[in-house]
Structure 1
Amino acid sequence: MSEHTMRAVTIDGFGGPEVLTAGRVARPEPLPTEVLVRVHAAGINPVDWKTRAGQGMAGLQTLPLILGWDVSGVVEEVGFGVTTLAPGDEVYAMPWFPRPAGGYAEFVTAPSRHFARKPASLGHAEAAALPLAALTAWQALVDTAGVQAGQRVLVHAAAGGVGHLAVQFAKHLGAEVVATASAPRHAWLKELGADEMIDYTRQRFEDVTGGIDVVIDLVGSQDDTAARSVSVTRPGGLVVSIPGGVPERLSLLAGPAGVRTSPFLVEPDSPALATIAGLVDAGAVRVEVERTFALEQAAEAHRLGEGNRTRGKLVLTVTG
């Protein structure tokens, strides 16, 4: 095959998983300050299938589109001015978000400082599962909420990609962690550091917990989860509402209760990725990959992910 093309999964129009098409497209070239990375694995996130369906970040994309923001791979080439990376370096990243990054492909280009060296203890499939989910959890807990030791942190949807990392980061920060998940996930989440488990399929969390300082809400308006979180949050506490911003009902209830709210959107952050890699290599944090798929199986992976029953992350293996 020509060195000027690459394998990729593209969409020509928004819709169901069937719009994901494997083929060959032009290979990108790095501009000054950018690197060309040969992608070994690409993580899959809910924003991927929401965007594919015309939701999520769809309004910021241009068709045809290569989905995917999570990548792990090896630097193939560096553009003029790059001094922090060199060909052969193993890196991982969430480049460009929310602009298109083109992760479901053999190569991506992005500014060198969107990348960090991948955790040395992980293979590419596990490393590719980290960036978007780990940065979401880290930035929400550290930068937005400023979680302190001794605080009580409630993580909704704790068994998911972001949730299982948020549990570990909150515990690392010295917090007491309350987690909502179905009962089969409880033992695993306790291994990751959860102190108090709530089976959301059998209990309403507001009936069994309280005194929460920070809520990491990964559910949002579904089942009124965001608004219901106000009743378990201390005055002065914070509800970080991640999917879709702060719902109107949350805003209406939070003010009179003295509870703060914050919308949230993750950003590329190579210093945080470097910190997270250090925690992983030290054994303080681990990432769960439920299943890997070949690049050409992207549609199958999306169908599984949209069922919202995944423990941890799904990953596409691309090279190697």
Structure 2
Amino acid sequence: MPSEMDAYTIEEFGGPDVFERTTTAVPDPAPNEIRVEVVASSVNPVDYKVRQGHIPDFAPDFPATLHCDVAGVVDATGEDVEAFEAGDEVYGMPGGVGRQGSLADYVVGHAGTFAHAPDSLSLEESAALPVVALTAWEMLADKTTVDIGDDVLVYGATGGVGHIGVQLADWFGATVTATGSSEAKRALAADLGADHTVDYTQTAVESYVADHTDGHGFDVVFDPIGDDHLNTSFEAVRPYGAVVTTESSDAGDVDLAPMHAASLELGVVLVIHPVLAGAGQERIGAELETIATLVDKGVIVPRIDARYAFDEVADAHRHAERGDFVGKLLLVNE
């Protein structure tokens, strides 16, 4: 076992070029932790927002190793770990916010933040799932209930969270309407399981509410984007319906008056909360086990837009910030 490893760290907040390849000690797992030899990670908005300094309270201590998602092979286990043993292939969300993350040869994390990786995916592909699949699952299965025949509107349907949300809503038996800003994105949304697609840049809310819900409004609006989309969500949902979102309180002007007027349910998801809080981590692993089962049943298939090596992390972050991709961007530890 080597005593040192490569890690891509930041010493300060800034642009994509702040990443530096460094050599650091291989961490040892504490009680209830496992150490994982990293095969891959992926890029999520929280990763580049931490790097930019927009959410400094979420950042690990400098020099900070970022990135939440990871897939790899268990290398060692700490005391009191019974769910995993050396050699297990796992995926999870152990750090990158609040504690050191996965952009390194090895990562340690609470055993509860991991699950056995899906059998039907490569470990590389599994690394695309944790943050986005957990978020979509909690939005649709925890913050609300989707019944067979419900009308569900999915904003950002080909983004990281959105493309999983479309697949889950379809599996729950909903009639799914998905938004997309281009013909190619709308075609992908249909391939993922959407029954209807909408060019939200050219279509008024009242038009797609009329066309796809007979004017009654959607039972559930799935909003992983926030900003003005949250205000639009309140226009699109039916009275007594539910809006589920990842919106943060500082993301812009959100008028909550329509919620009161229509007696709406609002569910907000911050899927990294157990890592930040250092409590309730088992929730992550339990949900990831469910997600792995759904992947192996063919319910969820991650869409990988591009792959980057770890030493190309700056390019991956630039790509992520431009937003000109669908699904996920992978980072592979070559």
**TM-score of the aligned structures, taking structure 1 as reference length:** 0.94
**TM-score of the aligned structures, taking structure 2 as reference length:** 0.90
Correspondence for 1:266: 271
* Matched position secondary structure for 2:255: helix
* Matched position secondary structure for 1:170: helix
Q: Does 1:236 align with 2:240?
A: yes
Alignment of 1:78-117 (within 5 A): 78-96=77-95, 98-117=97-116
CA distance in 2, matches of 1:97, 1:270: 16
Correspondence for 2:44: 45
Unpaired runs of 5+ residues, structure 1, are none
- TM-superposition CA deviations, 1:111-144 (whole Å, max 9, x none): 2121111011111221000000000000110011
Correspondence for 2:20: 21
The one-letter amino acid paired with 1:226 is L
**Aligned mate of 1:214, from 207, 212, 220:** 220
**Aligned mate of 1:277, from 254, 269, 292:** 292
* Matched position secondary structure for 2:322: coil
* Matched position secondary structure for 2:256: helix
Q: 1:196 to 1:160 in 2, by over 3 A?
A: same
- TM-superposition CA deviations, 1:241-294 (whole Å, max 9, x none): 213148653312221122222322114511111111111111121001111111
Correspondence for 1:200: 200
The one-letter amino acid paired with 1:258 is S
CA distance in 2, matches of 1:234, 1:298: 43
* Matched position secondary structure for 1:219: coil
Q: Is the 8 A contact 2:139 2:245 kept in 1?
A: no
CA distance in 2, matches of 1:206, 1:3: 61
CA distance in 1, matches of 2:206, 2:323: 23
Q: 1:97 to 1:27 in 2, by over 3 A?
A: closer
Shift of 1:203: 2.0
CA distance in 2, matches of 1:313, 1:98: 19
Q: 1:101 to 1:152 in 2, by over 3 A?
A: farther
CA distance in 1, matches of 2:40, 2:205: 37
CA distance in 1, matches of 2:96, 2:239: 34
CA distance in 2, matches of 1:150, 1:310: 31
Q: Is the 8 A contact 1:230 1:250 kept in 2?
A: no
Correspondence for 1:63: 62
The one-letter amino acid paired with 1:207 is S
Correspondence for 2:325: 310
Q: Is the 8 A contact 1:251 1:261 kept in 2?
A: no
Q: Is the 8 A contact 2:72 2:89 kept in 1?
A: yes
Q: 1:297 to 1:252 in 2, by over 3 A?
A: same
Q: 1:146 to 1:226 in 2, by over 3 A?
A: same
Correspondence for 1:189: 189
Correspondence for 2:277: none
CA distance in 2, matches of 1:206, 1:291: 36
CA distance in 2, matches of 1:249, 1:277: 35
Correspondence for 2:118: 119
Shift of 1:149: 1.8
* Matched position secondary structure for 2:254: helix
Shift of 1:313: 0.3
Q: 1:92 to 1:295 in 2, by over 3 A?
A: same
CA distance in 1, matches of 2:8, 2:325: 22
Q: Is the 8 A contact 1:180 1:205 kept in 2?
A: no
Alignment of 1:136-151 (within 5 A): 136-151=135-150
How many pairs were matched up? Answer: 315
**Aligned mate of 2:256, from 242, 251, 256:** 251
Correspondence for 2:303: 288
Deviates further, 308-317 or 127-136 = 308-317
Shift of 1:98: 4.2
* Matched position secondary structure for 2:163: helix
The one-letter amino acid paired with 2:145 is G
- TM-superposition CA deviations, 1:43-78 (whole Å, max 9, x none): 11011111111114x213222211101000000011
The one-letter amino acid paired with 2:236 is V
- TM-superposition CA deviations, 1:14-45 (whole Å, max 9, x none): 11101111221221110111111001001110
Shift of 1:207: 2.5
Shift of 1:109: 0.6
Correspondence for 1:226: 230
Q: Is the 8 A contact 1:198 1:205 kept in 2?
A: no
CA distance in 2, matches of 1:133, 1:312: 9
